[in-house]
Amino acid sequence: MEFSYEVKDSYAEVKADGRLNMVSAPKLREFVTDVIAGGSNRVVVNLEKTAFMDSSGLGALIGCLKAARQAGGDLRIAAVQPQVNMVLKLTSMDKVLTAYPTAEAAFSND
C-alpha cells in the first residue's frame, strides 16, 4: 500500500492506494501520526483507491482518529469503496467514522 498527502486550506488529505490489511495498517497509522505531528490535526483519509480493508485496517483508522482528536482535531474518511463500507457497517464503525463522498466534502461544513 502506498500513502501520500497534500495539505489543503483547512485539512490534510491522506490518499491510501492499495489493500488496507495487517501488513499496511501499521504503516497507515505511522503515516497519519506523522502528518498530525507536522501540524495538520484535521485529516481526511481518501479511500478511493482502497478496495479492501480488514479488521487491522479498521483498527488503524480508529487509532488515527484517536490521534487526531488527542491533537485537538478530527479524522474523517472519504470516497469509501463497497467492501470497505461493508466492513464499517458490519462493525457499526460507520457511526464513528462517517464516510463522505469526497475529501472536499468532509470538512466543508466546519
- pLDDT tens digits, one per residue of 73-102: 999 999 999 999 999 999 999 999 989 999
d(CA 34, CA 43): 11
How long a stretch of residues is the chain? 110
Strands in the chain per DSSP E: 2-7, 12-20, 42-53, 74-78, 99-100
Dump pLDDT digits (tens) for 35-83: 999 999 999 999 999 999 999 999 999 999 999 999 999 999 999 999 9
Cα separations (Å) of 94 from 30, 101, 109? 22, 13, 19
